[in-house]
Each structure stands twice: as C-alpha cells, then as structure tokens.
Amino acid sequence: MIDLSAGSVRVVVDENGGGRILKLAVGDLDLLVTPEIDDHNHGLFPMAPWAGRIRYGKFSFAGDDYQLPCNKAPHAIHGTVRDQPWKIDSSSLTHLELSTDLVEPWPFGGKVMQRFELEPNSLSLTMEVHASDRPMPVSCGWHPWWHRTPQSDDSVELELHAERMYHRDGEGIPSGELVPIAPPPWDDCFTKLGEPAAVLRWPELGSLTIESDCECMVVYTEPDLALCVEPQSDPPDSFNLNARVVNPGSPLVINAKFHWAINTAI
C-alpha cells in the first residue's frame, strides 16, 4: 500500500491490488466507497487495455479474430490491469508512478502506466497505454465508486455536462448511435462533454468537480451506496464500433482531475 497526503487529504493506493485507489479521504470524510463497506465495488480502479464491455468478449483486428475471457458473462468487462499487480516506478508524499505489463489473456502485449499527483484540493490522474512491437486496439479509463452518503442522510447530486449519449441496445451495450440525453436512471455512456464534465454535490458537505480530456463519460446511477462517474477514452465495445489504434512509440494518453470543496467541520 502507498500513502499519499497533502494537507488534510489522504490517498491510499494498492499497487498489488490492481493499482486501485482504496481511499480518498478529506479529513474524516471518505469520498469513495471503502472496502469495509463493499469488498468488491469500492475505490477507484484503472480500466485498460479496454474500458467497459466487449460484446461476448469477441472482436476482429487486422484480419484476425480474438476471444477475451467473459469475466462478466456473457461479456468481457473493464480490461485486465485491475486484476494484476503494478510496479512502483517513483513515489513521494504527493506523487506516484506505477506501471504494469499487458500479459495474457491480452494477446498483443504492451504496457500501462499511471501517474497520481495530489494537492490539498485536487487529485490529478494520468494513464498511458503503450503498444509493444505491433499496433493494437485500445481504450482505457477510470472507474470510481463515489460514496453517495458520506456522513450525511442526503444523497449525492449529479450535474452532468454532456450533449449526447450512446443508444444502449437490449444487451445494455452502445449500438454506436448518438441520441438525445434521456432522464436517469443511467448505466450509459455520454459524449460531447463540457468543461467541467461533471459536478457531484453532497448537500451540506460540499462538492467535487470532474475534469477530463477523455471523449466519454460512463455514468452508473443504480447502486444504493455509490455513484459511478467514469472518464473513458472511448465508449464500451469500441473495438467493435470504431477501434482506436495505438502504434509502438505512440501511446494513448488520458488525463482526469478531481477538485473538491468539502466542509470538514460537519
């Protein structure tokens, strides 16, 4: 475990548990669901070399067909790196760099890097996905489980800045068609994002602003304990829609920044 701190803020990253942020606390206030509350759906984890679902785990690339393990049957979901250890490349009280190689069941090889930069009022994240010796399809992102009701009876409110959402078919996967935004509940991918992309507000407690250069944001409103607002480079099933390709020496790089203004006196 690696501890980062700045002012009253503490971040705990589990390098052996998928490079996941286990805790983001401002004073005594946990902004993310902790493992003690839910031992599976907690923290913030990286998604690579794909984000979201790949339909039936199947895709074609450069004339060949591929089958990924369907870890959320009948589909493959959220990549591989959340299930493997990461290496610490550099660290300080407010800075951390991690990396992990892309190995089986991913058939192309490659490498993923994460950077964390903590300040008293913000956390900045960067992810890079590198090809090894040949081109490969890729998408990536982050999956946070924001705590709905930290020390409060009032649930978090979401202000989403997006112009369109992807139509979801009967299997819950984007069809590729962009449509006007429908009202929640959502387990949907949004695009044409504004600046900032989203704001979370906890009445009486404060707010958190999400900025990102990602093209997409997946929002999952259905859990009772959490609200998932996920910056992603591409929509789910992008390998079958319009695959983004990286070449050796030209990685995919994405960034996200979380700003908070929290009343820790409550």
The rounded distance, in Å, linking the Cα atoms of 25 and 5 is 10
The rounded distance, in Å, linking the Cα atoms of 212 and 256 is 4
Greatest Cα pair distance, the chain, in angstroms, is 59
Angular region, 109: left φ>0, alpha ψ -120 to 50, beta rest: left
Q: Which residue blocks in 76-197 are alpha helix, DSSP H?
A: none
Q: What are the average pLDDT values for consecutive 10-residue runs of the chain, which has 266 residues?
A: 97 98 95 94 98 98 97 96 98 98 97 98 98 98 94 86 97 96 96 97 94 98 95 98 97 98 75
Query: Where do we find the tokens 């493959």?
Result: 76
- pTM here is 0.96
